[in-house]
Structure 1
Amino acid sequence: MIIPIMVYAGYLSFKNYSVNQITESEVIMQSFTAKLGQLSHFALSDGTQVWLNSGSTIRFPDKFVGDKRKVELEGEAYFDVVKNSGQPFLVKTNDLNIEVLGTSFNVSNYHNDSILEVVLVEGKVKLFSEYNNKEQTYGYLVPGRKAVYNKKERKVLAGKVDVDKYISWRDGVLIFRGDPMNQVVKRLSRWFNVDITIADPEIENYVYTATFSNETLSQVLYLLKVSAPINYKNVAPKVLANGELSKQKIILTKKEDKNTGDDKAISSPVQLVFFFAKEYGEILVIT
């Protein structure tokens, strides 16, 4: 089990150059990946702060030249962009581009997800894509809003959200607010670098509200077990052909005894009260 930790990489830059003194051919492209189960924080050459979530990769130049500051992202990152009206900041993905002057926002773009999410904390961002050398602009996002881009349909929907839920991960905190269990499992799997699967489809209908801060995987699984009719089974890692160990696998199943939702206090790092509403399949955890 790997518990997410923060890795501070400092300034990933070399020398200070004026933009008019260098050309793009002199730029050195770099790639930085946050290891599975770890969070990384560093600064780009212009001072822009970047937080990378577990298993995410960013590609960027050692110095920004040209009319835009371009970076490429796969995975999830939070950006606190230094303002430069003469050189907009551009986050490129395989599906959607996000352009800003100076602002703070979160982008979630894992390759195996069907959607891409952008949550704006402050400032203003432009959302657009490029197909066949043509630019399609979807609009502009304002603070407190989330844009969801459907990669297959190439459509964007936007709405107001609780921003903290989407950016708390950079502080080592996971927030769930009425999230379906399949989303909870996906985030926990990435967070702890494990493979959590749901064996009983009925469990997928549960929704979960909770805040986890510094809990271990064992503690989180225990909270899931005592707050709803859920059991879990640990499957030991296997030795792969290359000699490495596979991910730890955890299988969630439904308890036969459904009467497990009595409110009670438990011994844990946080004070929790549990409530299980059978008719709605809802798990409510109040912290």
Structure 2
Amino acid sequence: MTDTKKISNAIRNYVHNECDKEELDYAFSLFEEPYKNLEIRTQLYNVWETENYGQCSVPGPDEFNDMLLRIHRKINFTSTGKKVSRGKNLYLGLAKIAAILLIGALIGVLVVNNWSSSPVYFTSYAPNGSVSQVVLPDNSLVYLNSGSELKYAVNGKRGLREVYLSGEAWFDVEHVEDNQFIVHTPFYDVNVVGTQFNVKAYPEDNTVSTTLERGTVQITSSDQFKIAEDVVLKPGQHLVFDRQSKNIRLMNVNTRYYTSWKDNKLIFINMSLKELVTMLERKYGVEIEMTDSSILNYHYDGTIKNESILEVLDVLKETLPISYVIENQKVIIRHE
């Protein structure tokens, strides 16, 4: 069998829930890195035509991402309230494809177990140097910041919509009556009905924070850690949890300082060079070494949008007593 025929059979059998285990594993291997095989796109266009997802002419190559999004949303709409395993697997399959291919930098892996009744999860990951966009099966929109990972329980415990975040993400949660949305972090949970908010929970950071733009969220204890009392945030509030002292600070802020990263823009006010270096490593996917720890206490104000890492370093060099060199793909910053 030719590769083209094998790919075609795997994709079609997958969306119709007709794969055996070997073919299912092969389909997943294709979807893990779809950008490496252009034949996958051809077969997905064929799915678009034969399954009548678009209800319109076949999109051109430049509209491929839009096609995937519309497939994803249509499956979500038509499968709502239906208790049929085939429709469910079709929905999960193309939702996975849409999540993987919607943004080029996004790497998504759907972990499906057709042979158990356990919750079904998929994981989306934004590598360092990229920001990824994910549309969840309930149509909630998520932006993942560099070096972040989001695991979503499609049919989570207790019937809840649940996500597990490592890193930073901005959420626009679709309101679903009597169906709560929960963001789990290692130190607290964020309980949501329908709202816009940002959660920052990188495992290597000393703090975990939540910023509310619209609606209401409630911060509650997680399974791993108990906070003294629940905290309800109002729009414009920013909560910071210190992982060492276990203290919580709640303040009123300009939320765009904490959410502009999703628009490829970083705003920092009185940020220490130590924090700034971590931010630059995540944004540009580079390694930065500081030869003198005393300069980490310098503070800086600024905005980064479309500048390259070299342009940012040149600006820092002009405003702070530092210099830099690049050795073996590593940026080394020295005190002047």
Per-residue CA distance 1:230-277 (angstroms, 9 max, x = gap): 1012121xxxxxxxxxxx32121121xxxxxxxxxxxxxxxxxxxxxx
Distance in 2 between residues matched to 1:151 and 1:137, nearest whole Å: 16
Counterparts of 1:254-269 in structure 2, within 5 Å, are 254-255=335-336
Question: 1:199 deviation in Å?
Answer: 2.0
| Consecutive unaligned residues in structure 2, runs of 5 or more | 1-64, 86-115
The answer (yes or no) to whether the contact 1:72–1:92 under 8 Å persists in 2 is yes
Q: Aligned with 1:197: secondary structure?
A: strand
What corresponds to 1:164 in structure 2? 256
Q: Which of the residues 181, 189, 194 maps onto 1:89?
A: 181
Distance in 2 between residues matched to 1:199 and 1:79, nearest whole Å: 38
Counterparts of 1:49-198 in structure 2, within 5 Å, are 49-62=141-154, 66-131=158-223, 137-198=229-290
The answer (yes or no) to whether the contact 2:186–2:224 under 8 Å persists in 1 is no
Greater share of residues in helix: 2
The answer (yes or no) to whether the contact 2:126–2:146 under 8 Å persists in 1 is yes
- Distance change (3 Å), C-alpha of 1:66 and 1:152: same
What corresponds to 2:325 in structure 1? 233
Q: Aligned with 2:222: secondary structure?
A: strand
- Give the letter aligned to residue 201 of structure 1: S
**Residue 306 (structure 2) pairs with residue 224 (structure 1):** no
- Distance change (3 Å), C-alpha of 1:80 and 1:131: closer
- Distance change (3 Å), C-alpha of 1:105 and 1:173: same
Distance in 2 between residues matched to 1:216 and 1:225, nearest whole Å: 14
- The farther-off stretch of 70-79 and 197-206 is 197-206
**Residue 281 (structure 2) pairs with residue 200 (structure 1):** no
Distance in 2 between residues matched to 1:27 and 1:72, nearest whole Å: 13
Distance in 1 between residues matched to 2:217 and 2:182, nearest whole Å: 10
Question: 1:194 deviation in Å?
Answer: 1.2
What corresponds to 1:251 in structure 2? 332
- Distance change (3 Å), C-alpha of 1:171 and 1:181: same
TM-score (norm 2): 0.64
**Residue 113 (structure 2) pairs with residue 28 (structure 1):** no
The answer (yes or no) to whether the contact 1:10–1:41 under 8 Å persists in 2 is no
Distance in 2 between residues matched to 1:205 and 1:133, nearest whole Å: 31
| Consecutive unaligned residues in structure 1, runs of 5 or more | 1-7, 237-247, 256-287
Identity of aligned residues (%): 30
Distance in 1 between residues matched to 2:234 and 2:247, nearest whole Å: 18
Question: 1:136 deviation in Å?
Answer: 5.5
- Distance change (3 Å), C-alpha of 1:205 and 1:92: same
Distance in 1 between residues matched to 2:274 and 2:265, nearest whole Å: 19
The answer (yes or no) to whether the contact 1:126–1:139 under 8 Å persists in 2 is yes
**Residue 132 (structure 2) pairs with residue 40 (structure 1):** yes
Task: State which structure, 1 or 2, has the greater radius of gyration over its C-alpha atoms.
Answer: 2
Per-residue CA distance 1:17-74 (angstroms, 9 max, x = gap): 4468489936421111112211111211111000001111101134568442111110
Distance in 1 between residues matched to 2:301 and 2:196, nearest whole Å: 26
The answer (yes or no) to whether the contact 1:149–1:157 under 8 Å persists in 2 is yes
TM-score (norm 1): 0.75
Question: 1:87 deviation in Å?
Answer: 0.6
Per-residue CA distance 1:122-153 (angstroms, 9 max, x = gap): 11111011357978643111111111112233
Q: Aligned with 2:131: secondary structure?
A: strand
Q: Which of the residues 278, 282, 301 maps onto 1:209?
A: 301
- Distance change (3 Å), C-alpha of 1:82 and 1:45: same
Aligned length: 237
**Structure with the greater relative contact order (CA < 8 A, sep ≥ 6): 1 or 2?**
1
RMSD, aligned α-carbons: 2.6
What corresponds to 2:49 in structure 1? none
